[in-house]
Structure formats: structure tokens, C-alpha cells
A = this chain, B = another copy of it.
Amino acid sequence: MFKRYLPILTWLPHYNGRLGGADLLAGIIVTVMVIPQSLAYAVLAGLPAVVGLYASLLPLLAYTLLGTSRTLAVGPVAIVALMTGAALSGVAAPGTPEYLHAALVLALLSGLILLAMGLLRMGFVANFLSHPVIAGFLSASGVLIAASQAGHLLGIELTAPDLFPRLAELILALPELHLATFAIGGGSLVFLLLLRQYGRPALRRIGLPRSLADLITRAGPVFAVLATTTATWRLELAEQGVAVIGDIPQGLPSLTIPGFDASLWHALLIPALLISVVGFVESVSMGQMLAARRRERISPNQELIGLGGANVAAAFTAGMPVSGGLTRTVINHDAGAQTPLAGFFAAIGIGAVTLFLTPALHHLPIATLAATITVSILTLIDLPMIRQTWRYSRSDFTAMAVTILLTLVEGVEAGIISGVALSIGLFLYRTSRPHSALVGRIADTEHFRNMERHETETASHLALLRIDESLYFANARYLEDTVYDLVAARPGLEHVVLICSAVNLIDASALESLDAINARLKDSRVTLHLAEVKGPVMDRLKRSDFLDDLSGRTFLSTYAAWRELSRPIES
């Protein structure tokens, strides 16, 4: 019982020095690496940069206690930050105390929703986000994030919240570009892109071992931060108008209590739900992928509790909504983290930075953070996936395209909701018009196949109709139409056999339709039979009056029905 909800109890007793050494090293590396992105994602959400650090402290400890993934690293992540910004700007103005407070409420609500879903074992909800919808949503979000950072990179103040007005504003404002800011932002961007593209092979070529080459390549943002902060400080660029982070209150965050305000909670409920589900899906997919590499399993329902705990912790420590982050998790994994204790060490490291090193961040230019964000979101834009989906399925592509379009035009919430609704709608539409086939006997066998595709034996007074879908409310009427059309088209018909080999369910609506079909065929002197009804479906039919009223019989196999009915009967 305790072990189920506190997975730390399963691994901590077996902990030893070797694991500790590996985790400590990973913790130190993660500390250094994630500071730039923690700051950056807080800025992306419209919050003071330090909130990103605060959100990387207690939430990591909470996840250490509650999470099941050994390498997942929790903290502010790009998509969740983008969605946080979108949600908060609906209820308060950035920079106000209300905005900060709303961030806490959002984190608390997300945390409570995740905890509730975990306790109710509702991890399956994530399955309703189809891959094309997620891929489309991430790609469009990447574009939105890039657009949101363009102003910071160029030193232009942009005010339009929506994508296209913002781009228009950007183009019109280009002449007002702030040169020093652009030098820092553009320079960092080019440096990061080059390092990402050519860093690893170049470092290998000069003889560095693979792991060190990887580490240095990934440390690009750290170098960019160090270099541009030093330059800005030495050259006093802040006085020339380069936006910097400025004063950060030194010390650990104080306890914050997100107060209860019904209208605010109500306004943030749907955004919190979407943030929870999207963050969970991203986090759990990554966790599963990494666990699979090490032949471990993670528990989606316990992950909900881990992420829920982390968000509640963020809410009480001046943070923002958090999730499992791709970049930080990959760094943690590659740095050799063995248990969640690596996250604990990283939290201590970030705590030390928050305590002692925030003055050093005063001169960190916002443009550098914008460059960091822009480069890291490039991985979100997945053009090959979009091409593949187009090639494979127009219906999946439609859901993806609508998600992309609405995310870009109407924002993240409208995008994800429409994507999910549309993909469910398309699936339901498909099942509402099920494939059915009139089958005939393949000569000298007990096999029955589609008459239109195979050479089969048939009888004009007998129709063998195979339905390739469960029968439920959405296709009940369609089934009636199919049978009535069949009867209308074949005047000599005496028997209709419904072959139910692919029918996994007959719900109450379909049962009524079967009743109606039975009654109407009886009026037309056509007998209705069933064949190959599966066990559980038959058990259920026996609980209704349908089998008593059925004009014909139920056959165990299509062949049995054929043997009995293929000779014309005298009526």
C-alpha cells in the first residue's frame, strides 16, 4: 500500500554508494544545464525569470518521492509554459501581483487534477490524444513560441497577442530593431544552432570522448549565458537598452498560499485540465521511452500522482505549473542518473544557486534566453511526421491539420480541444457507417467470403450479411437501413442471416434496432437469423426478450446456417 503510492520505498532500501556517486554527478550536471532553460520558460510564461528556479526546487523533491520513472526530470517545460502564459493572460496582466498569484492557482489546480486522475486511475485519458493531434499541437506550439520570442531576440516590444497580428507588427517594427540586443540574441542563436549541428562531430574529431562531446554540445546555453552575461556586464549594455533579468530576490522562495477565489478558479479550471493532460502525455511518453531502453516499466497512474505532487509543491513555493521536460530529462539520463535521487541532488544544486548566485544573473540578457528557447523548440516542429500522416491517412491528417491551424489562429486551448474532438468525431463517424459484406460459400469449404471479391456459392432466397463492427447507437440506424435496402432489392428473399463474428458489443440502441428489424422482416415474411454471436454478446442478449421474439434461429457458425437454410423451404 505505502509502496504503491510512495515508489521511493521500493528503491531507497537498495541504495548504495555506486548509485549515489552516479546520481550526484548527474544532479550537478543537471543543475548547471537547466538553469538557463528554467529562467527562459518562466519568461515565456510571462513570469519573472526567478519563478523558473523556484519551480525547479520543491517540485523535484515531490517527484523524487512519488514518481516511478528513474530518470524523468521535472520542471518548467516549453509547452506547459506556453499554455500557462495563454491561460494567465486571460485573467490578469503580466507583471501584476494578480498574474503571479494566478500562476500559483493554475499550478495548484493542475496538481489537484493530476492527483485526482491518479487516484481514480484515469491515466487512460491520455490515450484520447492521438499521435497526429499531439504532433500537430507540438509543431504549432513551436511556431507560437518562436513568434513569442522574436521580439525579445530583436529588442522590439510587441503587443499583439495573436500570431498573425504579431507577425505583422514585427515586420512593421523591424526598422526599430535594437542593435545591441539583436547582436546578443542573434549571436546566441547562431552559436547555438552551429553547436547543435556541428558541435558533436567537431569535438569528436579533436579527440574528445563521446560522452564529453555530448555534454559540451548540450551545455551550449550555459556558455551562451556566461558569455553574454559577462559581455553585458562589462560593456554596461543594460544602460544602452539591452533588456536584462535585473534584480532577483536572493534566497529560497517563501511559502505561498494560493487563496481560494471562486471566479478565478472557475476561469482557470479548463486551462488547468488541458495543461495537466498535455503535460502528462508529454511526460509519460518520454518516461516510457526511456524506461523501455533500460527494460524498466513506469506506472502511468503513479506518474499522475508524481506530477500532481510536483505541481502542488510548485503552487506553495512561488512556482509555476511543471511537467517532465524533454531537454532536462535527456540531460539527466545521459549524465548517468540511476534513481530519482539525481533529481533530489539537482534540487539542492538549484537551491544553492538561488541562495547565492542570483546576483550573478542580474546582467543576463533576455535575448539570450529567447535564443535558448527558440533553438530548443525546433525539436517540436515535426515536418516528417506531418508528411507521413498525410501519406498514411487523410482522416488522421485532417485532425492534425485542424489542430495546427486552430492552435496557430485561435491559440493552444482551442487547438488541442478541437483536435481531440475532431479525432474522436472522425473515429465515431467511421464506426457509424460500418463496413458490411454479403458473403457466400467458397466451394467445398466451410469458409464464407465477400461475394463481390471472391467466387462463391449463393442462394437467391438466402442473404448472409456480415457486419464488420460492434453494433451501438451510432450505427444502429445504419444497420436498419442496410437490412431494409437489402430486403427491398431482393424480392425473393426468405432468410437474412446476420453474421456477428466482428460484433464485440450490441448496446441497448442496437438491440432496439434489431427488434425493429425482426418485426419489420416478419411483416414482409422474411426470417431473421443470427450466426457466430460471441459468448459475452450472447449472454447479454439472453437477458433481453429479443431471442424469444426472434423469427429465426441463432447458429453457432455461418456454415451451420448455410447447411440448414440453403435449400429453399416450403412456406
Q: Which bucket holds chain A's interface residue count?
A: 35 or more
Q: Are B391 and A130 in contact (CB under 8 A)?
A: no
Q: Are B543 and A427 in contact (CB under 8 A)?
A: no
- Among residues of B, the one whose C-beta sits closest to the C-beta of A545 is B388
Binary flags per residue of A116-136, CB closer than 8 Å to B gives 1, else 0: 000000001011111111000
Q: Are B392 and A540 in contact (CB under 8 A)?
A: yes
Query: Which among A133, A392, A511 has the highest number of chain B CB atoms within 10 Å?
Result: A392
Q: Which of A468-515 contact B (CB under 8 A)?
A: 468-470, 472-478, 501-502, 504-505, 507-509, 511-512
Q: Are B473 and A127 in contact (CB under 8 A)?
A: yes
One of A162-170, A401-409, A430-438 contacting the partner: A430-438
Q: Are B434 and A478 in contact (CB under 8 A)?
A: no
Q: Which of A528-571 contact B (CB under 8 A)?
A: 535-536, 540, 543-544
- Among residues of B, the one whose C-beta sits closest to the C-beta of A297 is B484
Q: Which of A127-149 contact B (CB under 8 A)?
A: 127-133
Binary flags per residue of A364-403, CB closer than 8 Å to B gives 1, else 0: 0000000000000000000000001101110110000000
A472 and B427 contact, Cβ closer than 8 Å, known pairs A432-B127, A504-B502, A507-B396: yes
A292 and B520 contact, Cβ closer than 8 Å, known pairs A388-B544, A389-B508, A508-B389: yes
- Among residues of B, the one whose C-beta sits closest to the C-beta of A123 is B477
Identical chains in the assembly: 2
Per a CB cutoff under 8 Å, which of B132, B427, B509 touches A130? B509
Q: Are B434 and A428 in contact (CB under 8 A)?
A: no
CA of A132 to CA of B395, assembled, Å: 30
Per a CB cutoff under 8 Å, which of B396, B432, B520 touches A124? B432
Q: Are A508 and B131 in contact (CB under 8 A)?
A: yes
Residues on the B chain within 8 Å of A128, using CB: 428, 432, 473-474
Q: Are B292 and A473 in contact (CB under 8 A)?
A: no
- Among residues of B, the one whose C-beta sits closest to the C-beta of A393 is B508
CA of A470 to CA of B424, assembled, Å: 14
CA of A391 to CA of B540, assembled, Å: 9
Q: Are A504 and B434 in contact (CB under 8 A)?
A: yes
Chain A's interface: helix, strand, loop or mixed, by majority?
helix
Residues on the B chain within 8 Å of A453, using CB: 535
Residues on the B chain within 8 Å of A475, using CB: 127
CA of A468 to CA of B535, assembled, Å: 13
Any B CB within 8 A of the CB of A15: no
Q: Are A505 and B430 in contact (CB under 8 A)?
A: yes
Any B CB within 8 A of the CB of A329: no
Residues on the B chain within 8 Å of A430, using CB: 505
- Among residues of B, the one whose C-beta sits closest to the C-beta of A133 is B473
CA of A234 to CA of B511, assembled, Å: 55
Q: Are B435 and A424 in contact (CB under 8 A)?
A: no
Any B CB within 8 A of the CB of A276: no
27 A–B pairs (Cβ distance < 8 Å), ordered by A: A127-B473, A127-B475, A128-B432, A128-B473, A130-B507, A130-B508, A131-B473, A131-B508, A131-B509, A132-B508, A388-B544, A389-B508, A391-B544, A392-B544, A393-B540, A396-B508, A396-B509, A423-B473, A424-B428, A427-B474, A430-B505, A434-B504, A435-B536, A453-B535, A468-B504, A469-B470, A502-B504
- Closest 10 pairs (CB-CB, A-B): A130-B473, A396-B508, A131-B509, A130-B509, A502-B502, A127-B474, A132-B508, A392-B544, A468-B504, A389-B508
